[in-house]
Amino acid sequence: MRADRLVAALLLMQVRGRVTAAELAAELEVSVATARRDLEALSAAGVPVYPQPGRGGGWSLVGGARTDLSGLTAAEAQALFLLLGPAAAVSAEARAALRKLVRAVPRTFRADAEAAADATMVDPARWGGRDRPRPAMVTLLQTAVVRRRRVRLAYAGRTGEPSRRLVDPWGLVDKDDVWYLVAGTGRGRRTFRVDRITGAEVTDEPAERPGDFDLAAAWQEIAGEIELRRSRTWATVLVEERFVPVLRDQFGRHCHPEEGPGGRPGDGPGGGTGRGRVRVRLAAPTPLDIARHLAGWGALIEVVEPRSVRDELARIGAELVARHGGAPRPAAPAAPER
């Protein structure tokens, strides 16, 4: 877990004062490239870790070796915990390390450090998308969560109609590289997709946050509601077993190969059809959403049920034939030989 390595790297530099990427790699049993990326991540996050060029150089904490984190400024402590907090949400070891680290920072910075650690979480279960760029708005919203300041949002919802809202930011969640802001409003708790926020202004008004608010618990409830909306339509398809990982990339957690008695997808009665094909259950909000995902598969995939998805696929196919199924254009004449 990367959070564990980042904490270990920081503590190692406190003890030794200076460490090279090669030494860190040997200590943590990772590649030199991985160790260098971890050191660069600490530095980029604002932790006072800097490279020392030249013979006998390496990476060190500004001020030399320390046995605690009392040398961190308030901003540096926040930067460190914003970096480590999301990973700690999915690792018991990282959470334990984070608690120890909180106790090591100066008492005057501890509240802000704890707020930074709780400001963001990562939900590792995928919904199908990947590799989206992190919105620039995330950093500003993280600051508002940590400082507990209200934010004026310009927000474009599903309809695209912009609206302005004054919200109390409670936390941020990274889900499949899609960021969500969990916030309090005049109508209660609301969730906003950060990529639909077209403008944000952090005000000087203090934000209100329930004393018993827990971001992980709130997100579990929110994710459950979103799951219901995203899985209103289920379809059973037949596909060669080697293509199941591709379907998982498309549908994320809404892709379920049927298990047969032998433990392999498709084994047993009704599981497969020969020819190496297996049954897979897929879900999306509507039959049209499933059909759009599957249209590009052509004859590689067969929809068994429901009829509504088969009808949508047939309609899409007819549209494609009508648009692209005319007589082929004549080939361009060959260039004369010289």
Strands (E), 104-177: 120-123, 149-156, 162-175
Tokens of 133: 């760029």
With beta carbons less than 8 A apart as the criterion, state whether 202 and 186 touch. no
Whole-angstrom distance, CA of residue 212 vs CA of residue 37: 37
Whole-angstrom distance, CA of residue 46 vs CA of residue 26: 25
Instruction: Tell me if the pTM is above 0.75.
Output: no
Q: Amino acid identity of 217?
A: A
Tokens of 269: 């009665």
Q: Write down the pLDDT at residue 73.
A: 56
Q: What is the DSSP letter of 135?
A: P
Q: How confident is the model at residue 302 (pLDDT cuts 50, 70, 90)?
A: very high
Whole-angstrom distance, CA of residue 330 vs CA of residue 66: 77
Which percentage of the chain shows pLDDT scores above 90?
25
Across 161-178, average pLDDT = 86
CATH 1.10.10 fits 2-119, yes or no: yes
**Sign of the CA dihedral running 268, 269, 271, 277:** positive
Give helix 21-28 / helix 2-16 axis angle, nearest 10°.
Answer: 120
Beta bridge partners of 191: 182
Q: Write down the pLDDT at residue 229.
A: 73
CATH class of 137-213: mainly beta
Q: How confident is the model at residue 271 (pLDDT cuts 50, 70, 90)?
A: very low
Q: Write down the pLDDT at residue 20.
A: 86
Encode pLDDT of 43-92 as tens digits. 776 677 778 776 667 887 765 434 345 555 556 555 665 555 555 554 55
Across 309-321, average pLDDT = 92
Cα distances from 309 to residues 226, 238, 280, 312, in angstroms, run 21, 14, 14, 5
Q: What is the DSSP letter of 297?
A: G
Q: Give the 3-state secondary structure of residue 290.
A: helix
Q: How confident is the model at residue 261 (pLDDT cuts 50, 70, 90)?
A: very low
DSSP string, 214-258: -HHHHHHHHHHHHHHHHTSEEEEEEEEGGGHHHHHHHHGGGEEEP
Encode pLDDT of 192-221 as tens digits. 999 899 999 999 999 998 988 888 888 888
Give helix 74-88 / helix 137-147 axis angle, nearest 10°.
Answer: 110
Q: Which residue has the higher pLDDT, 25 or 184?
A: 184
Strands (E), the chain: 18-19, 49-52, 58-61, 120-123, 149-156, 162-175, 178-185, 188-193, 197-206, 233-240, 255-257, 277-284, 301-305
- Among 103-117, 165-179, 217-231, 270-284, the minimum mean pLDDT is found in 103-117
With beta carbons less than 8 A apart as the criterion, state whether 218 and 170 touch. yes
329: burial class by Cβ within 10 Å (0-12, 13-18, 19+)?
A: exposed
Half-sphere exposure of 338 (CA within 13 A, CB side): 0
